Chain A
């Protein structure tokens, strides 16, 4: 049975680019992905860049896929991994299609959506915002004619626009119940704070104006003057002073019950109303998907800025577990471009370990690391503030815990 130099779990932007980098250095590489198409979350992405060009994720995915195949990478889709095991040659990887042997293993499994439970969220017709995206952009199925989105964040605004392009009338984007332990987004003030992170790149002049103003004033003031009826971005009303309290319907969604709230999240009495819709999207944000790493003795860290629990790793994408590497959103939720750049770093790092030609590879890795930093800085979609700083702390912690001679210490 063949032993691969590198097996990659996840054929998204990180996995594909890692395969391209590693195969480019002469490694025998295989990628497996659970979904029946190659590209991961790239497949759903369609948005306009600040320079006016469109980012068409399907095109990007096809390009990377072809490039990987040209370099001799073996790619299989519709295959799930259910277990991992260290072995004398590296790893045994147990999949729905049998066991694979590999020297090095790269986990590029991406992120998962976190729901925001609210009364009625189990009614048919309620879906996560990512599910609506996949229905529209990947399967070409319109989820419905009218929709309400619960959760105002970068992802939901981007996908609302994609749904609009699919011909869906997005009636409004409202926030989820304030002051609830279920949500990280919280009060309108908090929502505003995070939305302002993206305004310098926002697809709307209006929000850009708000962003410019907010550079000089506190988010609390920006919220104060935020119109009660919301601001329209591409004809979609974004109402951060309206909160969903319940999704209504019996066998099928009928609409969303909302109330108006003050900047601090306080409910304004007698403002309850119902917005009818034939499907409802919940946008609770993303969290790294660490399950395969969790089957190993990989060390974990909880980092709010990166979206949740991540495997502790170095800037070169190594984990504390021998021959185990990570890249992409499993290391923290960021844009596809950052994931692609991280994939290149991981592929080169792994090739360097196998080939043992440090001198040649070190400069290439350094260059790839620069690209990661550049992509992060220029990222159109910033999922959380202070990502760069949070990443630095992780890399330092890794060096302290696993590279230095001194006993473990904690950076806080």
Chain B
């Protein structure tokens, strides 16, 4: 399959080939794939590709997807301005 032409993480332009090679070389988890390749680390916060990364890792390692979330979510889970983060709206509501 054309793994070198298939982009998985659009934000960081990480290909399927890079991800599969990384998993095979280090027999690693989704989190390790993210740290090594930056897949899922881009602007969208992995919202597009995180489920795909989990599936590739599970299929390549030949094991089921684990119950624990493999790629963590951290606040803020949506883009937020400094004003909002600083509580700028708080007195209004």
Contact = CB atoms under 8 A, between A and B. Distances in A.
A302 B52 contact: no
A309 B75 CA distance: 19
B16 A177 contact: no
Interface in A157-214: 177, 180-182, 184
A86 to B, nearest CB: 13
Interface residues of A, number: 41
Interface class of chain B by DSSP:
loop
Nearest to B56: A181
Contacts of A405: none
B7 interface: yes
Interface in B40-93: 47-49, 51-52, 55-56, 59-60, 64-69, 72-80, 84, 87, 89-90, 92-93
A117 B93 contact: no
Given A117-B7, A119-B6, A295 B73 contact: yes
Interface string A280-318: 000000010011101100001110000011000000000
A83 B93 contact: no
Nearest to B45: A291
B73 A291 contact: yes
A115 B76 contact: no
A396 interface: no
A302 B84 CA distance: 33
B93 A1 contact: yes
B34 to A, nearest CB: 15
Contact of A83 (B7, B51, B52, B77): B77
Contacts of A287: 51
Interface of A: 1, 34, 80-84, 94, 96-100, 112, 114-122, 177, 180-182, 184, 245-246, 287, 290-292, 294-295, 300-302, 308-309
**Top 9 A-B pairs, shortest CB-CB distance:** A98-B89, A181-B59, A82-B76, A83-B75, A119-B5, A294-B73, A80-B78, A98-B93, A82-B78
